[in-house]
Structure 1
Amino acid sequence: MNYLTELLAFYRWLADSPVSPLLQAYWHLLMYTNNRAAIRTAEGVWYWPVAFKLPNTMAMPLLGLKDRRVLLRQRGYLINRGLVTYQKNVSQRAGLYRMVPFDKGLEAIWVRDERRDSVTQVWAQAVPLSADGLSPLININTKQTSLLYSNQEDAANIHGFNLLPPLSDEEKAEIKARCPDDDVAAFNAMWAARERKQMAGKK
């Protein structure tokens, strides 16, 4: 699944299907959470998991909610609009969310997570985004970014997508040392470091 592609499609959908700012924020929070749950295979390929968890106790403060019933009602709206599905946990723990991609060329496959040595169902591109009529809300993104997961270490390109300055080997090693067992945390830390470097260069 491609974050930018889904984001652009969401706003095209929103033009004809307006929803409240709270519901928009909820959808964005779920996309962010799904993205942070990305897994990597032994081949070094990143994938979005089909199912992921977001406890109510984490979602409510981020959405500015104090009443659990409001959150449940908003979740129901997302489900009714066909944006997500949700499977309750029988033991009252966090259930499983599943985003409903706008890109209909995706399929769910099983891959092995290199960190947990277990298989996880993930989204993979089965049909090219250019397939006519398959995903009417998809406006083809011509920027050079992976369909699976954008590579933050790519050099800047003429399309202006990966313009953050690269990290030195020493900077990357220092971040990896701080996150030895969490590749996703290391990825996010490197991205944040590159953003700080870019901001420092503008001063």
Structure 2
Amino acid sequence: MNFVTEFLGFMAWLMARPRRSLEVLGLWVYLFIKNNAAAVQDEDGSWYWPVWFEVDSSALRAFMDGISSKRLWELRQELIRYSRLEYQKASGGRPARYALIPFDTGLRQVRLGSAAHSGSDFFWKPAAECSGNPAGFQKKRPPEQNRFSSDSDINNKYINTKSIPGYADTNPNGFNIPPKLTEEEERQLEAAYPDPVERFWAGMALRDQKAEEEKAWEF
């Protein structure tokens, strides 16, 4: 999986939700970082992310300011319900196992010979790099809104540049990039929102508003 592609994909997905939750963002980001840290290097020197990876629930809850087990279950179920996550509870002294469902629908599950002792069976690999029909391929899921599909290879990292629906002509790469805030707008946000997280979301909302206003002037 590509770090930038998946993060942008998740943010596009989250922004499209009718009810956004910073706790859902925190849970997904923590799992995303853990998944990336569990990557294994293949014989050709490339790094591949495991499909399933272990997560210590105590460390996860501590990262999320000590949320209760019940609340963690609720957040996890929300991501599972929207097909963004799969989960296997802890058993036999082993930690819980998670599997993030990539936004890049061009990935396939394959075995890596170099990962025989990594504790993981399957890894995500671009379909373009796969030969034949490796064991563990999953049936391709139908594309859903705000998903990215495979396009190009940039700086030797597999990345996708399909546009988010509705923004095909926004910029050459297809990503929706709202207008930047002025220094005065930044100062006003800092004064109104001391909390950096709240300030981030307020800034995003203001940039979206400016984009809509600029779009209106085009007509």
TM range (shorter): 0.5 to 0.7
Distance 2:153 2:115 in 1: 31
Q: Shift of the alpha carbon at 1:66? A: 4.1
Distance 2:120 2:97 in 1: 17
1:33 aligns with 2:34: yes
> TM-score if structure 1 supplies the norm length?
0.62
Distance 1:52 1:117 in 2: 10
Higher relative contact order (CA 8 A, sep 6+): 1
Indicate if the aligned counterparts of 1:51 and 1:98 stay in contact, CA closer than 8 A. yes
Relative to structure 1, the CA distance from residue 5 to residue 66 in structure 2 (aligned partners, 3 Å threshold; closer, same or farther) is closer
The 5 Å alignment of 1:124-163 reads 124-126=125-127, 136-138=146-148, 143-147=154-158
The 5 Å alignment of 1:33-182 reads 33-91=34-92, 93-113=94-114, 116=117, 120-126=121-127, 136-138=146-148, 143-147=154-158
Distance 2:6 2:104 in 1: 7
Calculate percent identity across the aligned residue pairs.
Answer: 26
Distance 1:107 1:90 in 2: 27
**Paired residue secondary structure (2:95):** coil
Match of 1:157 in 2: none
Q: Shift of the alpha carbon at 1:118? A: 7.3
- The range that moved more, 82-91 or 46-55, is 82-91
**Paired residue secondary structure (2:157):** coil
**Paired residue secondary structure (1:53):** strand
**CA offsets per residue over residues 91-127 of structure 1, 9 Å max, x none?**
3632210001111111000002368377731001015
Indicate if the aligned counterparts of 1:109 and 1:123 stay in contact, CA closer than 8 A. yes
Distance 1:92 1:80 in 2: 27
Q: Cα RMSD over matched residues?
A: 2.8
Q: Which amino acid aligns with 2:75?
A: Q
> TM-score if structure 2 supplies the norm length?
0.58
Distance 1:92 1:118 in 2: 15
